[in-house]
Every structure is written in C-alpha cells, then in structure tokens.
Amino acid sequence: MPIEKQDKIINMKSVGIIISTYNNPKWLEKTLWGYLNQTYQNFELLIADDGSGTETKELIECYKNKYFPHLKHIWHEDKGFRKTRILNMAVLAAASEYLIFADHDCIPRADLVETHIRYAQEGYMLSGGCFRLPMSISLSIKKEDVDSQKIFKISELKKRGLKNGWKNTKLIRSSSFASFMNFITPTKATWNGGCSSAWRKDIITVNGFNEDMQYGGEDREFGERLFNLGIKSKQIRYSAICLHLDHARPYKLPELIAQNKQIRKEVKKNKIIQTPHGINQY
C-alpha cells in the first residue's frame, strides 16, 4: 500500500510507540535517538518502566521537556521482573488505536514507524526484526551515528568489528530485496517485544499480556493468543529494522522458563484467547 494512502488512514487510526525499560538509561537514550529521527513523527510515545530508579526518570523528563512534550512515563515499583504488568498499564494509558512495541535496547532505523504504518492492516499483527550487535559496537554508538543513520550501514559496522555473516543481509536497504527476504525466510512471523505491532482493540480483546509470566516466552504467548483470536501475522523482519544492543540477562531463570513453556502449551492446546491475568484487572 502506498505510504500516501496509508497516511490518510493513520490520521484516523493514530499510532503509538510503547517502549519497555528497566534500569538502563544509557541504552534507553540511544533508543530514543532513533525515535527522534523517524521519517514519520506523528506518533504517541509511552515508556513502560518496570521500576527503574532516579537516573531513568531524569532522562525521561529531560527528553519530555526537550523533544517529546506528550511523552507518557508509565512506572510501577520494582518488585522483580513484571514487564507484562507494566505493558498492560501502558496499553491502557495509550490513546492510539495502533500500537508498536519496542524495547529500550532496540534502536529503530529511521523508517521503522513508517514501515509499520505501511504494512498495518485490519486483522493482522506485524513481526519486525532486530539486528543483534556485540557489546563493543553497542558501547561505541553516539548520537551523531544515529542522526546520520550511518550506524545502520554494514560498511560502518564492519569498521567497528562486525564479523561477516548471512544475518548481515538484514541491513541491506532495498525494498525489493526486503520484500523477497520477508517472503522466503523460514522464520515464523511471531510476536517479539522488540519490534512488533498490533491494533489496540485486538490487544484488549485477548486481555493483554499474561501477568503470570516472567522472562522467557511471555511475548510469544501473547502472540499465540492473538492467533487463537483469528489474527494473522505479516513477516516484516527485513523491512522494519532496529539494532539490538547487547546486555546481560540476570532474570533468565530455568524454572521460570519451564513454567512459561507450560502456560504456552496450555494456550496452544486449549486455543485460549483471553488470559485471566491481564488488562481487565485494572
């Protein structure tokens, strides 16, 4: 669909960005640089904060005052990994009818919002892609790298130590190549928290994210309930691109991942659409 026609739809169906974060203001700021440079700027911005401290709050206030006057900071107390809960609260706080979900460690390419708008369609969710960077490159990124968009070029990343590999093709900036790769990739178009989008009404219908789930498949489970609702998916992992900054995962616990797998098993087996532990609690 031509972007000109899609803009007319977006004027009626407004778009919002929900960025999840927790105590990593340096990575969050790099991600915000990406949203400052979007080709499509008419979006609502919400930061779903899973209990970060003062430094993150001050950064968000700074960016609200300078760049995003209508930015909403959705915060709750730190009581462990409760990303699903804060995402539900952010969905409720959103005024937009179409929502793009991102993480604080994913710097969006300048056309990311525009791309989600272009592919948005009733009855569908979109599954975008992340290009994972090593820690050395993640640390090296400056604001001018994002402003100029040179950090999204393979040649620039190779200068900074990126190794050759098939995955580097994600960064080839060609609409025809991206469309072809979206079509042939064997990777399923699942929900991933770093670069996916859906209609807010569909999110509400499945009762949002399952707050019984901690890290390990919580995003996939949400997407699986959208599928059970009858929502289809579009693969845009070669079109909607963000750079995934490296980080540790101390919250990755085997027992919780096993618990999440059991929940997902039940969702698939019983075709569950609504989680009993979601948005309707609020």
CA–CA distance, 144 with 201 (Å, rounded to integer): 38
pLDDT at 134 > cutoff 50: yes
pLDDT at 7 > cutoff 60: no
CA dihedral sign, ordered 159, 243, 32, 175: positive
8 A C-beta contact, residue 246 and residue 134 = yes
CA–CA distance, 213 with 43 (Å, rounded to integer): 29
Enumerate helices (H) and strands (E) in the chain, giving the number of each: 12, 10
Q: Which comes out higher in pLDDT, residue 98 or 7?
A: 98
pLDDT tens column, 161-203:
999 988 899 999 899 999 999 999 988 888 988 899 999 999 9
pLDDT tens column, 257-275:
888 888 899 989 999 999 9
- Pairing relation of β-strands 124-127 and 43-49? unpaired
Structure confidence at residue 258 (pLDDT): 83
Structure confidence at residue 167 (pLDDT): 85
- Pairing relation of β-strands 129-132 and 241-244? parallel
The CATH number of domain 3-281 is 3.90.550.10: yes
pLDDT at 40 > cutoff 80: yes
pLDDT at 249 > cutoff 80: no
Give the pLDDT band of residue 157 (cuts 50, 70, 90): very high
Structure confidence at residue 10 (pLDDT): 42
Q: Compute the residue count for the chain.
A: 282
Give the pLDDT band of residue 6 (cuts 50, 70, 90): very low
Give the contacts of 273 (CB within 8 A, at least 6 positions apart): 205, 206, 225, 228, 229
pLDDT tens column, 201-247:
999 999 999 999 888 788 899 999 999 999 999 999 999 999 999 97
Q: If you search the block for the tokens 């390990």, which residue do you land on?
A: 216
Strands ordered across the beta sheet of 98-103: 72-75, 43-49, 15-21, 98-103, 195-199, 124-127, 232-235
Structure confidence at residue 75 (pLDDT): 97
Q: Where in the chain are the domains?
A: 3-281
pLDDT tens column, 47-101:
999 999 999 999 999 999 999 999 999 999 999 889 999 999 999 999 999 999 9
- Mean pLDDT, the chain, rounded, equals 91
pLDDT at 16 > cutoff 70: yes
The arithmetic mean of pLDDT across residues 26-42, rounded, is 97
CA–CA distance, 202 with 230 (Å, rounded to integer): 10
Structure confidence at residue 214 (pLDDT): 82
CA–CA distance, 279 with 262 (Å, rounded to integer): 21
pTM higher than the cut 0.95: no
Beta bridge partners of 47: 19, 73
pLDDT at 3 > cutoff 70: no
Structure confidence at residue 194 (pLDDT): 85
Structure confidence at residue 145 (pLDDT): 98
